[in-house]
Amino acid sequence: MSAAATTALPAAAPAAVPEPRASRAPLWLILPAVMLFVGIVLVPLAMTVLLSFHDWGQYKGIEPVLTLKNWQEIATDPYYAEMFGRTLRIALITTLVTALLGTPEAYILNRMSGRWRGLFLLLILGPLLISVVARTLGWALLFGGANGLANKLLMSLGLIASPLPFLFTETGVVIALVHVMMPFMVLSVWAALQRLDPQVEHAAMSLGAGPLTIIRRIVLPQVMPGVLSGAIIVFSLSASAFATPAIIGGRRLKVAATLAYDEFLNTLNWPLGAAVAVLLLVGLILIVVGANALVERRYAEVFR
């Protein structure tokens, strides 16, 4: 779970004119980092792609031959379609809920006075840096069967008659994931709100717009790029989340990440696990790149 995954990079300052004698400086400044990345990111990734085409057997282990066996299994066995479908569904619902709750919250935060805003920003963004295991453990405690606090609360409020199952259900996974992902969404919308000219709301007001009209016609269209880029981050992190589905979903409710983990560390069918991981990676890259392109094209006219 990585923080602030795809926030736009700050534009680099116009390159300073280098002193002549230092004109070869960039090479030895950058080369170590490039070698590090080629050696420890690109090579392992390439090896993993290759691994997904290897054969495996219970007794013979990994056989370094080229075969489409793993990919055929994923394409034909409905188990994998169901698992990837579940992964996609959980990620989509999580994204939707985070956007629906996080956007208004960011707006409310932005309207608070300085001191309160700082405090609540710390409380809401802070969990981002707290161990996902600790946070998910909290949800496991809250859900914990019929005796879970969440059920006790809902029942004492009279909202439900009998305990709802949260643990080992998709609902539970989504609720915990929404909690884990929410800071990304708030942060993204918050950043978009910071770019808003504060006089614009006054301008709309002076032209006769009421508060709801201002939100709908003036604020929302301008922060939409922030909501969408937050949604892209949340989606890609939810679809590849491991800790939360593993702890809340348990062993039966498999998603892509937990399945890859099982194949590698329990079944020891590394080629199949590699195929699942590669499929997850390629699928996510396609979705994220496609969504980014759509967002950029949609808003190119307005926001360069």
Partner 1 sequence: MTTPSRSAAPLLELDRVAKAFGSHVAVEDFNLAVAPGEFISFLGPSGCGKTTTLQMIAGFLAPSRGTIRLEGRDLTSVHPSKRGLGIVFQSYALFPHMNAAENVAFGLEMQRIGKAERTERVRAALAMVGLAAYEDRHPRRMSGGQQQRVALARALVIRPSMLLLDEPLSNLDAKLREEMQIELRQIQRNLGTTTILVTHDQTEALSLSDRIVVMSKGRIEQIGTPQDTYERPASAFVAQFLGKTNDFAARIEGGSPARIVAGGWSAPAPVGLRGPVTISVRPERIGFAETGLPARVAARIFQGNHWLFQCETECGPAIVVRPNDGAGQPGEGETVRLAWRPEDMSLSAGAAA
Partner 2 sequence: MSRNGPLALAFHGLFVTFMLAPIVVVCLVAFTPEGFLSLPTNGFSLRWFRAIADYPEFVHAFWVSLGLGALSSLVALLFAVPAALALTRYKVPGRGALQALFLSPLMIPHVVLGVAFLRFFTALSLGGTFLALLAAHIVVVFPFAFRLTLAAAAGLDPALERAAVSLGAGGFTLFRRVTLPLILPGVVSGWALAFIQSFDDLTMTVFLAAPGTETLPVRMFLYIQDNIDPLVTSVSACVIAVTMAFLVVLDRLYGLDRVLAGKGTD
Residues of this chain that bind partner 1 (CB under 8 A): 197, 199-200, 202-210, 213, 217-218, 221-222, 301-304
Select the binding partner of residue 16 from partner 2, partner 1, none (C-beta < 5 to 8 A, by kind).
partner 2
Q: How many other C-beta atoms lie within 10 A of the C-beta of residue 48?
A: 17
Select the binding partner of residue 140 from partner 1, partner 2, none (C-beta < 5 to 8 A, by kind).
partner 2
Q: If we measure between CA atoms, which residue out of 302, 284, 252 comes closest to residue 5?
A: 284
Q: Report the DSSP beta bridge partners of residue 55.
A: 63
Question: In this complex, which beta carbon is closest to partner 2, that of residue 224 or of residue 233?
Answer: 233
Select the binding partner of residue 149 from partner 2, partner 1, none (C-beta < 5 to 8 A, by kind).
partner 2
Cα 286 from Cα 300, distance rounded (Å):
21
Q: How many other C-beta atoms lie within 10 A of the C-beta of residue 43?
A: 11
Amino acid identity, position 7: T
User: Min. distance of Cβ 59 from partner 2 in angstroms?
Assistant: 19
Of 69, 138, 164, 218, the residue at the interface with partner 2 (CB under 8 A) is 138
Q: How many residues bind partner 2 (CB under 8 A)?
A: 100
Of 45, 75, 146, 302, the residue at the interface with partner 2 (CB under 8 A) is 45
Question: In this complex, which beta carbon is closest to partner 1, that of residue 78 or of residue 114?
Answer: 114
Cα 302 from Cα 9, distance rounded (Å):
19
Q: Counting contacts by CB under 8 A, is residue 185 touching partner 2? A: no
Cα 92 from Cα 107, distance rounded (Å):
23
Q: Report the DSSP beta bridge partners of residue 61.
A: 57
Q: Counting contacts by CB under 8 A, is residue 48 touching partner 2? A: yes
Applying CB under 8 A, which part among 66-74, 79-87, 99-107, 217-225 lies near partner 2? 99-107
β 61-63/55-57 pair status:
antiparallel
Q: If we measure between CA atoms, which residue out of 78, 239, 231 comes closest to residue 174?
A: 239
Q: Counting contacts by CB under 8 A, is residue 212 touching partner 2? A: no
